[in-house]
Structure 1
């Protein structure tokens, strides 16, 4: 009985000390470029290598690019890891954050299930999709690529 209790205690201690996959950034947060993707209707919701997040020059701000056609229809998307894991499935936080437009930041909930962002591109082209985790509540925004 003592051995079982000791093993359970050691396992709990190992989990509590942060045995996590992926490294941390200078702020102590996980490096999203190691495991997160831009996923949406334009990726068939798959975690494709070309949509894996990349670091920006700003600490804890990441992005991925997608070429979109401006046909008047919104594109649904979110940021998530390959397994749609709890805590790594990032959609909109509140209904007011569901639709993203150029120049608008939206609050992000990384424990979402079906809260997909919507973006209707004003013109056909390549767009950069950002997730900014510098604040307590992450934010998403989109810019047209140069």
Structure 2
């Protein structure tokens, strides 16, 4: 009897946490702007407040901006929470998704470990880094401001 009561209590707690945690954007998904960051060589891989994700104009799309110098070298980056948590560490899904170009959408794996995206800016400018979680597989893309 005690085991059944414990299992029911744990299940109820898990459901309550899942339903109330992290907010929602109307689709039942967590609000990434509450805990995710753009992290990369230009942030020293830190979760800096200025690189915390913001909501874009479309549902389930988030972005952060970074000013990058076009020196011909790629910038490595990811989207991740402050603790590099499993499920909140978004790098490239397949090798064909590793290099991101302006306007090109690539697939992301949010349970990645070492799969950093690479972006070589075509010119020195401010770029918006987007992650779109509206579909089954998150997509990443970059636009120049």
Q: Do both proteins adopt the same fold according to a TM-score greater than 0.5, normalized to the shorter chain?
A: yes
Alignment of 1:86-105 (within 5 A): 86-105=86-105
Cα pair distance change 1:83/1:5, threshold 3 Å: same
Distance 1:80 1:126 in 2: 20
Deviation at 1:14, TM superposition (A): 1.5
Deviation at 1:8, TM superposition (A): 4.0
Alignment of 1:13-52 (within 5 A): 13-17=12-16, 18=18, 21-52=21-52
The answer to whether residue 114 in structure 2 is matched with residue 114 in structure 1 is yes
Deviation at 1:5, TM superposition (A): 4.7
**Which residue number in structure 2 is paired with residue 125 of structure 1?**
125
Cα pair distance change 1:110/1:49, threshold 3 Å: same
Segment drifting more, 136-145 vs 17-26: 17-26
Other structure's SS at 2:71 match: coil
Q: Tell me which stretches of 4 or more aligned residues in structure 1 moved more than 4 Å.
A: none
Question: Would you say how many aligned residue pairs link Structure 1 and Structure 2?
Answer: 144
Distance 1:5 1:92 in 2: 42
Structure 1 residue runs without a partner (length 5+): none
Other structure's SS at 1:37 match: strand
Deviation at 1:21, TM superposition (A): 3.0
Distance 2:3 2:95 in 1: 47
Structure 2 residue runs without a partner (length 5+): none
Deviation at 1:141, TM superposition (A): 0.2
TM-score normalised according to structure 1 size? 0.93
CA-to-aligned-CA distance 1:100-120 (integer Å, 9 cap, x gap)? 001210001111111000000
Alignment of 1:128-139 (within 5 A): 128-139=128-139
TM-score normalised according to structure 2 size? 0.93
Distance 1:9 1:82 in 2: 32
